[in-house]
Structure 1
């Protein structure tokens, strides 16, 4: 059997125990963050729920922001997979950008409004833990590819820079969602207008 098709070996012994403990701590932290927000979360409540010592929490997550970073990465991986399935089918750039907005909003439904804003705010926080390269963020990578495809197909202007356009689009979206708390109908109209303005800035002259 080749390496590609070989079954994945599950961790055993101490490694399996470590991963199980980390999972319990993470899940307990997310539950507490949903209740009180990241800033108001009580580490004592987290360790009581997880059944671990305080030092164990900080061993796995040096700060509460590291829990947020882990949640952000998991959610981004999830929505990037859905976005990849969408763009594998026939589509255009407006459809792709609107799909990206829908998928980001789906995170709010999964984690709740309070934690959603904390996760988005992490992108702008001075206390954000050291980050990876942009290529380690799959949604950014896919949106860059989509804008590049649109430019190559003359759907977007030739002078458009796919990387900067994708980063501006996503960071602008995160900032908009972080700072607004309007009704769903008002926010929907605002987001639709946001996508329209973003597309207008990329359309061929």
Structure 2
């Protein structure tokens, strides 16, 4: 009987652990939105989550690990949505425009402070290693769509898909975090998208 009961007890323990982790993640995300990661108070996070101070570090060795988890989830969510979109929209310009829309939606949901921290960690050479899953799935997905467009002759044959995906997303991220309060920001983003697509198009 003892052996048979062990799986149930382990499952309950694991469920409790995951619930605690989710509470901490939610509380930390809210604190990061309010203050930015660097100024976030772990004491405030554990108080909001209703756990002991040491519990935070049991689940997340550093505040950067919290942000890494947010990054992983958001990138997977966006990549999943974009992959679904691409089933019915094959034109590369539509794909890049949808990627822009999704990233700007992410910025609105995260807020300026957290979005800036998100991007700083995203490309940091010292970011903690990602445990499991694909690193930067959005870049990979955009590169795959650009490569498909290159193979079909939709864009220039000399285009290197992964390089173009990195250039496109890096440029977009830089544009967004440096023009947050600019009144002409929508026009700048539209122009950036137009010029990116024009640069990819096959020259006849």
Asked if these proteins are the same fold (TM beyond 0.5), I'd say yes
Residue 200 and residue 133 in structure 1: after superposition, are their counterparts in 2 closer, same or farther (change >3 A)? farther
User: Is this contact kept in 2: 1:61–1:67, CA < 8 A?
Assistant: yes
Q: Cα RMSD (Å) of the superposition?
A: 2.1
Residue 46 and residue 135 in structure 1: after superposition, are their counterparts in 2 closer, same or farther (change >3 A)? closer
Q: For 1:106-136, what per-residue CA distance to the aligned partner results, in whole angstroms no more than 9, with x for missing partners?
A: 1122222221121122224354223579953
Deviation at 1:181, TM superposition (A): 2.0
What's the counterpart of residue 196 of structure 1?
A: 194
Runs of 4+ in 1 over 4 A off after TM superposition: 131-135
Higher Cα radius of gyration: 2
User: Is this contact kept in 2: 1:32–1:41, CA < 8 A?
Assistant: yes
State whether structure 2 residue 69 is matched by structure 1 residue 70: yes
User: What SS does the aligned partner of 1:174 have?
Assistant: helix
- Looking at structure 2, the residues matched to 13 and 75 of structure 1 have their Cα atoms a distance apart, in angstroms, of 27
Q: For 1:157-176, what per-residue CA distance to the aligned partner results, in whole angstroms no more than 9, with x for missing partners?
A: 11111111111111221122
User: Is this contact kept in 2: 1:160–1:202, CA < 8 A?
Assistant: yes
User: Is this contact kept in 1: 2:150–2:157, CA < 8 A?
Assistant: yes
Structure 1 stretches lacking a partner, 5+ long: 1-8
Structure 2 stretches lacking a partner, 5+ long: 1-7
Q: How does 1:51-200 map to 2 (within 5 A)?
A: 51-131=50-130, 135-183=134-182, 185-200=183-198
Q: For 1:71-117, what per-residue CA distance to the aligned partner results, in whole angstroms no more than 9, with x for missing partners?
A: 11111111112111211003311111011000001112222222112
